[in-house]
Amino acid sequence: MKIGKVVGTVVSTINSEVFDARRLLLCDLLDADQEPTGDYLICVDAVDAGAGETVLILDEGNSARQIVGWETAPIRAVVVGIVDEVHLPS
């Protein structure tokens, strides 16, 4: 999984069915010390994450389909948690 930060949402009306009635979050990817890596992902929101929150992103299809309960859904990135703290013993 990856750590990310919610920086926006993607609004879309014409899309694959699985995205209907699901929020799409634009997340910057962060490295372990929470610095932006420069990359980003559009993720399906599974935990009602809010703006600016640090989140846990799952980026793998089978697990994503399991979460939405839809065997043939074309999705990979899902926000599966909201990060409270990250400890990095220096």
Partner 1 sequence: MQLGRVVGTVVATIKTPGLEGIKLLIVQPLHRDLTEKGRPVVAADGVHMAGPGELVYIVGSREAAQALPEPFVPVDHAIVGIVDAVEELS
- Chain residues that interact with partner 1, rule: CB under 8 A: 6-16, 19, 24, 26, 28, 40-43, 51-52, 61, 72-77
The CB-of-32 to partner 1 minimum distance in angstroms stands at: 21
> By C-beta, is 36 or 86 nearer to partner 1?
36
Contact of 43 with 27, CB cutoff 8 Å? yes
Nearest to 23 by CA among 7, 36, 34, 12: 12
Distance from C-alpha of 57 to C-alpha of 78, rounded to nearest angstrom: 6
The CB-of-20 to partner 1 minimum distance in angstroms stands at: 10
> By C-beta, is 12 or 34 nearer to partner 1?
12
The CB-of-55 to partner 1 minimum distance in angstroms stands at: 12
Distance from C-alpha of 83 to C-alpha of 89, rounded to nearest angstrom: 17
